A and B are shown apart, each in its own frame.
Chain A
Amino acid sequence: MLENVFVAAKRGAIVGLLGPNGSGKTTLLRLMSGTLTPDSGAITVDGRPIGAFSRLDLARRIAMVPQETHATFDFTALEIVLMGRYPHLGAFELEGADDLSIARDALAATGTAAFESRPFFTLSGGEKQRVVIASALAQASDILLLDEPTASLDLGFQLEIVDLLLRLNRNRRTTMVVSTHDLNLTASLCSELTLLFGGRVIASGPTERVLTPENIRALYHVDAEVSRHPLTRQLTVTPLGRAQ
Chain B
Amino acid sequence: MTGAFGALLILMCLLAPLAGSTTISLVRAFDRSLPFADNVDAQILFIARLPRVLAAALVGASLAAAGVTFQALLRNPLAAPETLGVSMGASVGAMIAITAMPPRLVGGMSTVPLAAFAGSVAALGVVYLLSIARSRGMSTTVLLLGGVVLTTFLGAVISFVQYLSDYTQTARMVRWLMGSLDVGSYEPIGLALIPMAIAAGGYATLPRTLDLLSLGAESAASRGVDVVRSERIALVSASLSTGAAVSLAGPIGFLGIVVPHMVRLLVGADHRVVLPGAALFGASFLIGCDVIARRAFAPLELPVGIVTAIIGGPFFLWLVLRRAR
Judge whether A171 is part of the interface by a CB distance below 8 angstroms.
Answer: no
Question: Given A66-B219, A73-B77, do A83 and B264 touch, yes or no (CB 8 Å)?
Answer: no
Give A86 Cβ to nearest chain B Cβ, in Å. 5
B222 & A63 in contact (Cβ 8 Å cutoff): yes
A28-47: CB near B (< 8 Å → 1, else 0) gives 00100111000000000000
- Interface stretch of the complex, out of B33-41, B207-215, B232-240: B207-215
Cβ of A59 under 8 Å from chain B:
yes
In the complex, the answer to whether A64 meets B269 with C-beta atoms within 8 Å is no
1/0 contact trace for A11-55 toward B, CB 8 Å? 000000000000000000010011100000000000000000001
Contacts of B208 in A (CB 8 A): 86
Chain A residue nearest to B211 (CB atoms) is A83
Q: B270: CB under 8 A from chain A?
A: yes
Complex Cα spacing A63 to B224, Å: 10
Which B residue sits closest to A73, measured CB to CB? Answer: B269
* Distance of A70 Cα from B214 Cα, bound (Å): 9
Greatest chain A CB density within 10 A among B76, B205, B214 is at: B214
Contact B215 A59 (CB under 8 A): no
B28-54, CB under 8 A of A: which get 1 and which 0? 000000000000000000000000000
Q: Are B212 and A83 in contact (CB under 8 A)?
A: yes
- Contacting residues of chain A (53-73) with chain B, CB-CB under 8 angstroms: 55-56, 58-60, 62-64, 66, 69-73
Given contacts A35-B218, A72-B214, A74-B268, whether A139 and B75 have CB atoms under 8 Å apart is: no
Interface pair B218/A30, CB less than 8 Å apart: yes
Q: Bits for A160-185, please: 1 = Cβ < 8 Å to B, else 0.
A: 00000000000000000000000000
Question: Which residues does B use to contact A, with CB under 8 Å?
Answer: 71-72, 75-77, 205, 208, 211-212, 214-216, 218-219, 221-226, 264, 268-270, 272
A66 to B219, CA, bound (A): 7
Q: From the candidates B216, B223, B270, name the one contacting A59 in the complex (CB within 8 A).
A: B223
Taken together as a complex, chains A and B put the C-alpha atoms of A91 and B209 apart, in Å, by 10
Are A74 and B264 also in contact (CB < 8 A) when A83-B211, A86-B208, A86-B212 are?
Answer: yes
Alpha-carbon separation in the docked complex, A83 to B211 (Å): 8
- Report if A84 contacts B (CB, 8 A): yes
Contact A69 B215 (CB under 8 A): yes
A122-B156 Cα distance, complex, nearest whole Å: 43
Minimal Cβ-Cβ distance residue in A for B79:
A72
A143 CB, nearest partner CB in chain B, Å: 11
Which single member of B215, B222, B269 contacts A33 (CB below 8 Å)?
A: B222
CB pair B224–A56 under 8 Å, yes or no, is yes
Alpha-carbon separation in the docked complex, A64 to B220 (Å): 10
* Smallest CB separation, A87 vs chain B (Å): 4
Q: Are A73 and B221 in contact (CB under 8 A)?
A: no
B226 → chain A closest CB, angstroms: 6
Q: Name the residue on A nearest B229 (C-beta).
A: A55
Q: Is the CB of A83 within 8 A of B223?
A: yes
Query: Given B71, B214, B223, B272, which contacts A86 in the complex, CB threshold below 8 Å?
Result: B223
Interface residues of chain A, those whose CB is within 8 Å of chain B, are: 30, 33-35, 55-56, 58-60, 62-64, 66, 69-76, 79-80, 83-84, 86-87, 91, 94, 139, 145
- Given the complex, which residues of A lie within 8 Å of B222, measured CB to CB? 33, 35, 59, 62-64, 66, 145
Q: Chain A contacts of B269 at CB under 8 A?
A: 73-75, 79
Q: How far is the CB of A135 from chain B (nearest CB, A)?
A: 8
A73: which B residues are within 8 A, CB to CB?
Answer: 71-72, 77, 214, 264, 269
Distance A35 CA – B205 CA, assembled complex (angstroms): 22
A72-B268 contact in complex given A33-B222, A55-B225, A83-B212, C-beta closer than 8 Å: no
- A195 CB, min distance to chain B CBs, angstroms: 24
- Knowing A72-B75, A72-B76, A79-B269, say if A84 contacts B223 (CB, 8 Å): yes
Tell me, in angstroms, the Cα distance from A72 to B71 when the chains sit together. 9
* Chain B proximity of A55: nearest CB distance (Å): 5
Q: Check A59–B224 contact: CB distance below 8 A.
A: yes
Give the complex CA separation of A79 and B267 in angstroms. 13
Kindly list 7 other residue pairs between chains A and B, CB separation below 8 angstroms, not including A66-B216, A69-B215, A69-B219.
Answer: A35-B218, A35-B221, A58-B224, A63-B222, A71-B214, A84-B223, A86-B223
User: How distant is the Cα of A59 from the Cα of B226 in the complex, in angstroms?
Assistant: 11
Report Cα–Cα, A35/B221, bound state, in Å. Answer: 7
10 closest Cβ pairs, A-B complex: A59-B224, A64-B222, A73-B269, A87-B224, A56-B224, A72-B214, A86-B223, A72-B75, A75-B269, A55-B224
**Would A70 and B216 count as touching, CB distance under 8 A?**
yes
Docked CA distance A139–B72 (Å): 22
B217 nearest in chain A by CB position = A35
